[in-house]
A and B are shown apart, each in its own frame.
Chain A
Amino acid sequence: MSGRISRRTFLKGAAVLAATSGVSWSATKAYRWLSPAEAAPLAREEKVVRTVCSPNCWQTCNHLVTVREGKVVKIAPAPMPDPEYNRICLRGLTHIQRLYHPDRLKYPMRRIGERGEGKWERISWDEALDFIAGKFKELRDKYGPQAIAVVHQSGNYGLLNGGYGGAYRFAGVLESVLASGSVDQAVSIGFSSALGTGIFDAYCNECADWVNARTIILWGSACAESQINEWHFIWEAVEKGAHLVVIDPIYTTTAQKAHTWVNLRPGTDIAFALGMLHVIITRGLVDKEFTLNKTCAPFLVREDNRLFLRQGEKPLVWDTRSGRAVPYDTPDIVPALEGQFEVNGVKCTTAFSRLKTVVQDYNPAKVAEITGVSPEVVVKVATLLATNRPGGIKFGFGADRYHHADLLGQAMITLLGLTGNIGKSGNILGMFFAGFDPMVYNVNWLLPRGTSPKMLPLIQLQDTVIRQNPYPIKAFYITCSNLLVQTSDRNRWLREVWPKLELVVAVDQFFNNTLNYADIILPAAHYYETEEIVLSGDVPYVLYRQKVIEPLWEARPDWEIYRGIASRLGLGQYFGSIEEECAKWLDMPLMRQQGIDYQRLKKEQAIRFLPKPYIPWQDGKFKTPTGRLEFYLEKKVPQGEELPVFKWPLEAGPDSPQAAKYPLILITRHEKFRVHSQYENQPWLREINPEPFVDLNPQEARKRGIGDGDLVEVFNDRGHVTLRCRYNEAIPPGVAHIQQGWWFYRDGHHQELTHARYKENTLNYSFFDVRVEVKKV
Chain B
Amino acid sequence: MAKKYGMVIDLKRCIGCHTCAIACKLENNVPMGLFWNRVLTRGGPGLDIPEGSYPYLKREYLPVACQHCENAPCVKVCPVGATYKDPDGRVLINYDRCIGCRYCMTACPYNARVFNWQEPLRIPGHSYGSQGVPDRKRGVVEKCSFCQQLVDAGGEPFCVTCCPARARKFGDLNDPESEVSRLLRERPAERLLEDRGTRPQVYYLR
Contacts and interface: CB of A to CB of B under 8 A. Distances in A.
Contacts of B33: 17-18, 21-22, 25-26, 687
B161 A76 contact: yes
B164 A231 contact: yes
Interface string A30-66: 1011111111101110100000000000000000001
Contacts of A37: 95-96, 98, 134-137, 140
Interface string A1-13: 1101111011111
Given A683-B32, A730-B54, A30 B119 contact: yes
B138 A17 contact: no
Interface stretch (A250-258, A425-433, A557-565, A585-593): A250-258
B29 to A, nearest CB: 8
Contact of A235 (B120, B132, B165, B192): B165
B185 interface: no
A99 interface: yes
B179 interface: no
B15 A688 contact: no
A4 B32 CA distance: 31
B190 A1 contact: yes
A74 interface: yes
Contacts of A231: 15, 164-165
B71 to A, nearest CB: 15
A74 B128 contact: yes
B194 interface: yes
B25 A684 contact: yes
Contacts of B164: 87-89, 228-229, 231-232
Contacts of B25: 684
Interface stretch (A90-98, A186-194, A199-207, A571-579): A90-98
A71 B126 contact: yes
Contacts of B114: 14
Contacts, number: 245
A93 B19 contact: yes
B135 A74 contact: no
A68 B129 CA distance: 10
Contacts of B21: 90, 688
A748 interface: no
Contact of B40 (A10, A74, A94): A10
A730 B48 contact: yes
Interface residues of A, number: 87
Nearest to B113: A14
Contact of A17 (B38, B112, B119, B121): B38
B15 to A, nearest CB: 4
Contacts of A225: 15, 17
Interface in A206-253: 224-225, 228-229, 231-232, 235, 251, 253
Q: Secondary structure of the B side of the interface?
A: loop
Nearest to A4: B42
A452 to B, nearest CB: 40
Given A683-B32, A733-B54, A7 B193 contact: yes
A263 B52 CA distance: 15
B65 to A, nearest CB: 11
Contacts of B62: 5, 9
Contacts of B137: 32, 35-38
Interface string A662-691: 000000000010000000000111011100
A16 interface: yes
Interface string B136-152: 11111000000000000
A73 B17 contact: no
Given A46-B131, A76-B161, A729-B44, A232 B166 contact: yes
A370 interface: no
A2 B191 CA distance: 8
A93 B26 contact: yes
B121 A728 contact: no
Given A16-B46, A32-B138, A732-B55, A76 B15 contact: no
Contacts of A26: 33, 118, 121
Interface string A63-88: 00010100111111100000000011
B195 interface: yes
Interface string A252-287: 010011000101000000000000000000000000
A738 B114 CA distance: 32
A730 B44 CA distance: 10
A733 B47 CA distance: 20
A27 B161 contact: no
Interface in B79-130: 95-96, 98-100, 109-112, 114, 117-121, 123-130
Contacts of A72: 124, 128
Contact of B22 (A43, A74, A76, A90): A90
11 contacts: A1-B192, A7-B111, A27-B120, A68-B131, A74-B129, A90-B18, A231-B164, A256-B60, A257-B15, A727-B45, A730-B48
Given A7-B111, A729-B50, 6 more contacts: A29-B118, A29-B119, A35-B137, A38-B137, A88-B19, A88-B162
Q: Which 9 A-B pairs have the closest CB atoms?
A: A100-B124, A37-B95, A10-B111, A25-B32, A29-B119, A27-B121, A1-B190, A13-B40, A224-B15
